[in-house]
Amino acid sequence: MNTKSHMPLTNSLICFIFLSSFVYGQLDYKYYDATCPNLTKIVRYGIWSAISNETRMAASLLRLHFHDCFVNGCDGSVLLDDTSTFTGEKNASANRNSARGFEVIDTIKANVEKACPSTVSCADILTLAAREAIYLTGGPYWSVSLGRRDSLTASQSAANAQIPSPFEPLENITAKFVSKGLDVKDVVVLSGAHTIGFAQCFTFKQRLFDFDGSGNPDPTLDSSLLGNLRSVCPNQSDSDSNLAPLDAVTINKFDNVYFKNLMNNSGLLQSDQALMNDNNTASMVSTYSKYPYLFSKAFAASMVKLTNLGVLTGQDGEIRKNCRLVN
Ligand code: HEM
């Protein structure tokens, strides 16, 4: 057979595949290899220095990424400041006085802009930041495909509607995940993110004093944890913003102790402990409490699903120069 006669066909095929990745805008592990080869190093250094300054920042950045992806996709919308034309997500109920890490992303973005101007999206920077933060905190590492573009707008009402609340039943939380293309396993696995970071007292205080209007504490809350939490969060409104660790045993380490805590009635949020009230989710909790490696592997897999939700690619959106503002 004459192989030469096939060359033009092969060339056109390669050309088609190459061009279609621009036209259809696929994410790609090597997306910035030619245009911003030091990207990962810049993000890694930025995260390392932020965490060296404040360990909690790893948790805050992971949550910021989750809140970005859950509201109209991973498009950097959570990073936008309010403007005269839209009210953004920063002041939505789950984020106001709660979402953190914006300055860390600003610093990394400024360094990325110096190395490769107008090339890397804020959405990709936040995605890489979350991955690096978890890895540096002892968690798994996963490959991140890149090429997300930044949104041109943000929506406070979408954030209010789509981000799960710790006060809603597990069925509602699961329904929110399912509506994004995730499943109940992702709910359990990603809730394992609560192995690091802190929550303000108002997010769980009714469990300590007046559970479901009973005038008594939540009977499923371990009594020694109850005592500790009552001292951090006394029954008065000025304790609302005091902080308690989501996993009081290994506060800053990304491990499977969150699941061990749930097995011991020591979940902090009602929505955490609720995973034990359903046979299916409780059995997953039990598995992850026993097998840290399975949790680690599952967390990486669910994170990849989360980071690919509703991304803008190709010609959609833009590459913001400043993560807080549309160009
Ligand atoms: C399943 C439904 C979820 C609910 C109801 C929920 C709720 C909450 C609440 C109420 C807080 C405390 C916020 C504050 O007091 O200011 C919190 C913190 C946190 N959440 Fe979630 N969350 C959920 C899922 C997730 C997921 C999927 C992730 C990441 C993959 C995540 C990561 C975090 C982290 C790391 C913190 C600590 C943040 C910090 O210390 O700054 N959460 N979450």
Q: Is the same domain home to 128 and 76?
A: yes
Q: Is the same domain home to 153 and 181?
A: no
pLDDT digits (tens, 9 = 90+) for 120-161: 999 999 999 999 999 999 999 999 999 999 999 999 999 999
Task: Tell whether the model's pLDDT for residue 80 goes beyond 80.
Answer: yes
Query: What pLDDT is recorded for position 68?
Result: 98
Residues contacting residue 119 through CB under 8 Å, at least 6 positions apart: 32, 35, 36, 112, 319
Q: Is the same domain home to 108 and 222?
A: no
Please identify which of the residues 67, 148, 260, 324 carries the catalytic annotation: 67
Instruction: Kindly list the protein residues whose Cβ atom lies closer than 6 A to any atom of ligand 1.
Output: 56, 59-60, 62-63, 66, 98, 100, 164-166, 173, 187, 190-191, 193-194, 196-200, 203, 246, 269, 271
Query: What pLDDT is recorded for position 114?
Result: 98
Q: What is the mean pLDDT of residues 178-206?
A: 98
The domain of 230 spans 170-306
| Ligand 1 atom at minimum distance from 62 CA | 35
Task: Tell whether the model's pLDDT for residue 5 goes beyond 90.
Answer: no
Task: Tell whether the model's pLDDT for residue 14 goes beyond 60.
Answer: no
Task: Tell whether the model's pLDDT for residue 205 goes beyond 50.
Answer: yes
Q: pLDDT over 70 for what percent of the chain?
A: 92
CA distance 105 to 61: 9
Query: What pLDDT is recorded for position 20?
Result: 42
Mutate to test the pocket of ligand 1, among 60, 62, 63 (most ligand atoms within 8 A of CB): 63
Can you give the pTM of this predicted structure?
0.93
Task: Tell whether the model's pLDDT for residue 7 goes beyond 80.
Answer: no
Average pLDDT for the chain: 94
Q: Is the same domain home to 177 and 200?
A: yes
Q: Is the same domain home to 225 and 287?
A: yes
- Evaluate whether 164 touches 43 at the Cβ level (below 8 Å): no
Q: What is the mean pLDDT of residues 4-21?
A: 46
Say if 6 falls within a structural domain: no
Task: Tell whether the model's pLDDT for residue 10 goes beyond 90.
Answer: no
Q: Atom 40 of ligand 1 has which residue's CA nearest to it?
A: 197
Query: What pLDDT is recorded for position 22?
Result: 44
Q: Is the same domain home to 294 and 197?
A: yes
Query: What pLDDT is recorded for position 25?
Result: 62
Task: Tell whether the model's pLDDT for residue 86 goes beyond 70.
Answer: yes
Say if 273 falls within a structural domain: yes
Give the 3-state secondary structure percentages of the chain, helix then strand then coil, rounded to 5: 55, 5, 40
CA distance 316 to 26: 12
pLDDT digits (tens, 9 = 90+) for 102-123: 999 999 999 999 999 999 999 9
Q: Is the same domain home to 102 and 186?
A: no
Q: What is the mean pLDDT of residues 215-239?
A: 97
Task: Tell whether the model's pLDDT for residue 207 goes beyond 70.
Answer: yes
Is 255 annotated to bind a ligand? Reply is yes
Count the domains in the chain: 2
Say if 100 falls within a structural domain: yes
Q: Which ranges constitute the DSSP H helices of the chain?
A: 7-20, 39-53, 57-69, 102-115, 122-136, 156-162, 170-179, 184-191, 206-209, 223-232, 257-263, 270-273, 279-290, 292-307
pLDDT digits (tens, 9 = 90+) for 30-39: 999 999 999 9
Query: What pLDDT is recorded for position 24?
Result: 45
Say if 211 falls within a structural domain: yes
- Evaluate whether 169 touches 104 at the Cβ level (below 8 Å): no
Please identify, among 132, 163, 194, the residue that sits at the C-terminal boundary of a domain: 163
CA distance 185 to 295: 11
Is 278 annotated to bind a ligand? Reply is no
User: Which pLDDT band holds residue 11 (cuts at 50, 70, 90)?
Assistant: low
Q: Please tell me what DSSP assigns to residue 90.
A: T
CA distances from 89 to 72, 210, 239, 310 (A): 11, 31, 25, 16
- What's the CATH number where 86 sits? 1.10.520.10
Q: Is the same domain home to 100 and 48?
A: yes
Say if 107 falls within a structural domain: yes
